[in-house]
């Protein structure tokens, strides 16, 4: 039955309305997966021989020491991005198909996700290297099985707690607390990790613990999904009591204020937009990568980081206009909506958040005023130029967004558009080139001033640029409507 379901999904893929674009996106995804596979396999070789030849310690012990960090990161990524494959199963609930079969198929299918098995390439490669370098066969296999099953347990944990945000926040806080205590050597967390994971190698029978936990959680997960696996319960969107909110002072700005008011409410209420706010906040700390690699200390890459540090919200929110409004966009287009005011509201909201990000990023001055001034210049460019180009690129984004879904939206078929990619040139490459060249020939001050001038020019000519953007949105209007109405 599993292969029958899989065959039906393959047929659905090739019979869709956008087979060519779907296939192109699948190829791009596979290229990305192969890249990560190469990194993980190469990382296994590098870790083993670097630890043995340079540090002169037992590679298996050192890798076991940091396995707890990898496990927490794996759980975090799965919670944020991996979803239960319920949509393709819904039609079978009305047919004469055993519900047990459907539930087991769903559980098995979660293991087909790249998030589930990518880490196995590191573990298998590392275990193979250990075998060829004198480690015991039974111990190595026990370590591989024990560690792998513990990572696969994260699939079940994700299913059980994916919709329980309060528990996720509490657990995240506990993980953060333990991370801080371990960082300051207040608790020997890494020592415990080494002792626990290395015990799979020292005492191979200890791997039975992972097997028991895996089978036990499979059973618990099966019961949990089985009990809620109904069209009118587990798969139904959760309903909450409606609340009326209003930010009063925005009303004095007329239509513009009303649109901003609606966007703020949307950001506060929905899962996807809450994720945008969280991601935007995390982007502020993107500049800390400057300490991990010498390449980030070049003028070009400092500007690149500055654009993301100050413009995280702009990139994550602006390029999804009007996708965030996809559920009611067709209705909105039947009304006398002033398109320019609609887009200006998005523009002002993005720039207000960008200005706040510039202020928060002031802590980078601790690492050197030159770094912060670079980020400040990037923020000015984001406000004056990138805010408008980001809105422009949104005209080509025709991806439907379910605001109550946590499904990952990066890489979906309708978000792949060559015109949107071409707009990356003025958004990213132009400021990097101008800042890098100006700073190289005329110094830091000239570099900052050049970027500030570009931002000022964009700000002064915003009305003219907005007219062009509005025209583009009107040109794309009917194809956007068609995409938002299509279920394929």
Q: Compute CA distances 397 → 17, 236, 300, 326, 478, whole Å.
A: 17, 27, 28, 11, 13
Q: Please answer whether residues 451 and 378 qualify as being in contact, where contact means their C-beta atoms are separated by less than 8 angstroms.
A: yes
Q: Is the pLDDT of residue 47 over 50?
A: yes
Question: 66 in helix, strand or coil?
Answer: coil
Q: What's the distance, Cα to Cα, between the start and end of the chain in Å?
A: 25
Q: What is the mean pLDDT of residues 108-118?
A: 80
Percent of the chain past pLDDT 90, that is, above it, reads 17
Extended strands (E) in 263-379: none
Q: Are 126 and 44 in contact (CB under 8 A)?
A: yes
Q: How far apart (Å, rounded) are the C-alpha atoms in residues 140 and 156?
A: 25
Enter the tokens of residue 378: 């990037």
Confidence of residue 9 (pLDDT cuts 50, 70, 90): low
Instruction: Work out the pLDDT band at 10, boundaries 50, 70, 90.
Output: low
Q: Which of 2-6, 12-16, 428-432 has the highest mean pLDDT?
A: 428-432
| 252-266 as b/e: b if 16+ CB within 10 A | eeeebbbbbbebebe
Q: Which residue has the higher pLDDT, 289 or 203?
A: 203
pLDDT at position 414 is: 40
**Cα angle for residues 264, 416, 21 (degrees, 5° grid):** 135
> Given pLDDT bands bounded at 50, 70 and 90, which one contains residue 282?
confident
Say if residues 156 and 217 touch (Cβ distance below 8 Å): yes
Higher pLDDT: 379 or 85? It is: 379
User: Residue 486: left (phi > 0), alpha (psi -120 to 50), or beta?
Assistant: beta
pTM exceeds 0.85: no
Environment class of residue 432 by beta-carbon count within 10 Å: exposed (0-12), middle (13-18) or buried (19+)?
A: buried
Distances (CA, A) of 156 to 79, 115, 186, 366: 10, 13, 31, 43
């Amino acid at each position: 039955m599993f292969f029958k379901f899989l065959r039906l999904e393959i047929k659905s893929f090739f019979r869709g309305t956008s087979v060519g674009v779907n296939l192109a996106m699948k190829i791009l995804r596979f290229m990305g997966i192969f890249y990560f596979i190469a990194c993980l396999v190469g990382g296994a070789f590098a870790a083993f021989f670097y630890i043995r030849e340079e540090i002169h310690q037992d590679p298996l012990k050192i890798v076991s020491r940091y396995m707890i960090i990898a496990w927490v990161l794996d759980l975090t990524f799965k919670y944020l991005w991996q979803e239960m494959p319920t949509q393709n199963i819904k039609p079978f609930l009305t047919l004469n198909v055993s519900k047990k079969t459907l539930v087991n198929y769903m559980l098995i299918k979660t293991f087909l996700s790249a998030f589930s098995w990518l880490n196995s390439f590191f573990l298998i490669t590392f275990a193979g290297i250990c075998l060829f370098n004198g480690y015991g066969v039974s111990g190595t296999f026990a370590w591989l099985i024990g560690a792998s099953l513990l990572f696969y347990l994260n699939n079940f944990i994700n299913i059980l707690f994916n919709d329980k945000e309060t528990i996720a926040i509490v657990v995240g806080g506990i993980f953060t607390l333990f991370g801080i205590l371990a960082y300051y050597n207040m608790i020997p967390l890494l020592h415990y990790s080494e002792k626990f994971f290395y015990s799979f190698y020292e005492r191979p029978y200890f791997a039975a613990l992972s097997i028991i936990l895996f089978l036990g959680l499979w059973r618990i997960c099966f019961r949990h999904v089985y009990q809620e696996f109904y069209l009118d319960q587990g798969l139904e969107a959760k309903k909450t009591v409606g609340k009326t909110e209003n930010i009063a002072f925005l009303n004095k700005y007329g239509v513009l204020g009303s649109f901003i008011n609606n966007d703020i409410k949307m950001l506060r209420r929905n899962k996807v937009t809450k994720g945008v706010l969280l991601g935007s906040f995390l982007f502020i700390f993107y500049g800390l990568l400057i300490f991990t690699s010498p390449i980030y200390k070049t003028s070009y890459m400092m500007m690149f980081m500055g654009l993301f540090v100050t413009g995280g919200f702009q990139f994550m929110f602006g390029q999804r206009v009007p996708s965030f409004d996809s559920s009611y966009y067709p209705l909105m287009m039947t009304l006398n909506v002033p398109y320019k005011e609609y887009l200006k509201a998005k523009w002002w909201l993005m720039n207000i958040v960008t200005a706040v990000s510039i202020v928060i990023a002031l802590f980078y001055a601790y690492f050197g005023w030159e770094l912060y001034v670079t980020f400040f210049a990037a923020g000015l460019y984001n406000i004056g130029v990138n805010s408008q180009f980001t809105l422009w690129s949104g005209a080509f984004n025709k991806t439907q967004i379910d605001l109550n879904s946590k499904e990952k939206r990066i890489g979906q078929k309708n978000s792949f558009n060559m015109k949107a990619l071409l707009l990356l040139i003025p958004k990213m490459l132009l400021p990097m080139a101008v800042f890098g060249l100006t700073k190289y020939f005329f110094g830091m001050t000239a570099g900052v001033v050049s970027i500030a001038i570009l931002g000022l020019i964009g700000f002064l000519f915003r009305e003219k640029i907005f007219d062009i953007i509005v025209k583009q949105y009107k040109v794309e209007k009917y194809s956007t409507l068609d995409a938002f109405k299509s279920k394929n």
